[in-house]
Structure 1
Amino acid sequence: MNSLNFSQRGVTLIEILIALTLSIIIILAMLRAFVTTGKVTAEASLGAQTDSGLMLGLIATDRILQGIGFGDMPNYGSGFKAYKFIGADSSDTYNVTTNSSDNAEYLVWAVGANKCQALRNASNGLLLYGKGAGYSCTDLSKPDLDDDSVSVERLIQINDAVQNIQFETGKDADQKIGAMHIAVDQKECWPFGIVNSTDLKPGKYQVVIATNTYAASTETMAHKIENTTCLFNFK
């Protein structure tokens, strides 16, 4: 009877090490791709959420600004003031008729006798102070941030993670996602949908809010959008 000869030749240690090395490289590459994809997806999700909040906030802000000066007010037609954007120093104010292009931290307007409302360009969004009846003010002063009785509503919220996205050509605050610039222009304007008419006096001021969005921004430059509101109650 013929005996069966079975080959006992196996895999060498070097071959095993090579196979293990290749496997580790492939696994690390897959993990790297997974991490990168997850980071991009999370960033895109936060960016889309931020852009959505910006657009909704600008729409709400536009409606609020359109109502400035409406009704019987003690300073009707002139009850408006802007505070220059250099921090929280209330002594640094400017007249919108001479410095309309300056950025503002606060926009303050009267809603009644010694009552005001204000928009604040905060570091992480846009705030409305004195919703409803307004807050107590003297000479259109900005709100007291330490006064708990002053109502605060957040119109726009900017996520800190989105704010930390930097651009190669701009690491300044005005190049961050969600960074806003608020200015008041003394310029004749009509409300949306109204054509110039001799029967209607144009508004005296318009508020321009510019902000950086995530969408359409590149690695070198932030994309900016603007919302312009005619203050047609101020003649």
Structure 2
Amino acid sequence: VNVAIQVAEQMADFLMSGGVTNALNMPSLSAEEAPKLKPYMALAEKLGSLVGQLTTGAVSRISVHTEGAAAELNAKPIVSAVLAGYLQTQTATVNMVNAPVLARERGLEVREVRTEREADYHTLLRVSVKTEDGERSVAGTLFGDSAPRLVELLGIKIEADLAGPMLYVVNEDAPGFIGRLGTALGEAGVNIGTFHLGRRSAGGEAVLLLSVDEAVTPDLLTKVRALPGVKTAMGLNF
């Protein structure tokens, strides 16, 4: 009981001031660090959730790679946020304080990698998971140093805000597909909020992320999967 009370107090302290001190499982985060780290932790949690929702099969390793400005920060809270986002797709009892312990209990290897040089973005956070089927990764950045934004999905460049219910589609890049998809969604009464598209090459594999007003239903997924050229379709939620 005392442990539960301590965790609750630490979470309350973080939510009120941004600081976490003497946490049982989470590295200390000072109130001075919190304003700079909070948007990164929000991005980290979203990326962890995304890779968790997209991955089937057992994950043996999760890697958190910080690049550019992100590599100069205290990475431990960022890693904890990634783990919380990932594990929340499997259990509702996880948070940023207990996520590292739950990860260890599940035998999940956690790696942290830093690259201080900048590449395409001033700051970048990449999350990769390893399964029996191989490795997959997602990456995101901060726009205006505060707005989390997905910029890469499974090796494909795509910019999207991960928020609310979304429809995720992998398809063959071909003329007319977007029109057919739009028609199918319209006939199902689905309203599209935002539309994001990326592709490996012309005529190659393409990825669509659409924010929608309501959660994606099994009936809608059946309709989308029946469209010519669709390889994968699933609902996401953030």
Return the TM-score normalized by structure 2.
0.26
Return the TM-score normalized by structure 1.
0.26
Which structure is larger by alpha-carbon Rg, 1 or 2? 1
